[in-house]
A = this chain, B = another copy of it.
């Protein structure tokens, strides 16, 4: 499918006015890239019929595939159906099956369908409805005849991100993979890494991140966590899976020391809780300084499906300004060591492990260095009464500094775990 191009159109005054940030377009760009489709243009347009019609015409003339989001609701502001019909110079026609689907959606919610929702079952002549399992607005799949004689394919999806994503994955993505006689399949897998930078990871992976490779491997970095996304296409789901498994093994050979788990939302604290649950051990956190993100992360994770336990692995967290406050807190004199404070807490609160972060630096820049940061010491109180500790000099952009420090602390804790 090389040289196939796509344009993404985002529709709504709330986007053009800046009231809302459009994230649908970024998501669709990433998915299209994974399918090997280049995206040279995005367009955002407000709720004006003529503007919408123009935008669909321009897009269909310059891109092979046009995907729009938004404007499929039942109100007068929702102009996508009309705009596409205008751009195609065809009338809108009622689609009986879609009307029935919309009526059923209302019936299941115990409500009467308002008259105005009728319009959601109207389609430009020649269009195929795209099933929307989660909402009332079906999508539109229709061909556009270009002035040059060639054709462009338009997919119109709702703006609600959850509905848009489901419909893209269930209907649009398979349609784009369809090669006529044989149907193509696609599969994704995300692996997560912490402890090295993006350029080192690229260096380790070498040719694996080449755009032409199959399966493709893409790198993204978010607050110092690296995600590798493997995307495989093939003639069956089984072929895709075996391609992914193979690539996953190759990646582990090259960068396994920094790998901590799989899945888009899997973070190091998930890995820690999983380890502790397996060992039936419990963790206490002590965060000193100008932040305390770990308390929030761990409180949340021990509630997630798959991470709960009869005796929760997370004992709790303490957030204090500095070591002096910690000594006062546990009732020890001001020459007491960090280790003796941790031991006291470990015994008193029946925690197998304690992680002390000492201290989160200020994000308010004072030094000459362009990025804020400073020395941070991570001290672990282990079940065997040892206190492995590590001191790092950490700097980062203010928006991610505290998360980076927290993650470096978890990386050290994980290194102290016996089975790691």
Contact = CB atoms under 8 A, between A and B. Distances in A.
Interface residues of A, number: 66
Per DSSP, chain A at the interface is mixed
A303 B290 contact: yes
Contacts of A319: 285, 295-296, 298-299, 316-319
Interface in A348-384: 349, 360, 362-364
A364 B300 CA distance: 10
A16 interface: yes
A96 interface: no
Contacts of A19: 30, 220
A271 interface: no
A29 B17 contact: yes
Contacts of A320: 315-316
A51 interface: yes
A41 B44 contact: yes
Interface in A330-344: none
Contacts of A364: 303-305
Contact of A28 (B18, B39, B325): B18
A417 interface: no
A18 B45 contact: no
A103 B230 CA distance: 44
Contacts of A26: 18, 20-22
Interface in A100-141: none
A45 B51 contact: no
Contacts of A318: 316-319
Contact of A15 (B17, B42, B289): B42
A293 B296 contact: yes
Interface of A: 10, 15-23, 25-30, 33, 39-46, 48, 51, 54-55, 58, 62, 220, 285, 287, 289-293, 295-296, 298-300, 302-305, 312, 314-321, 325, 328-329, 349, 360, 362-364, 402
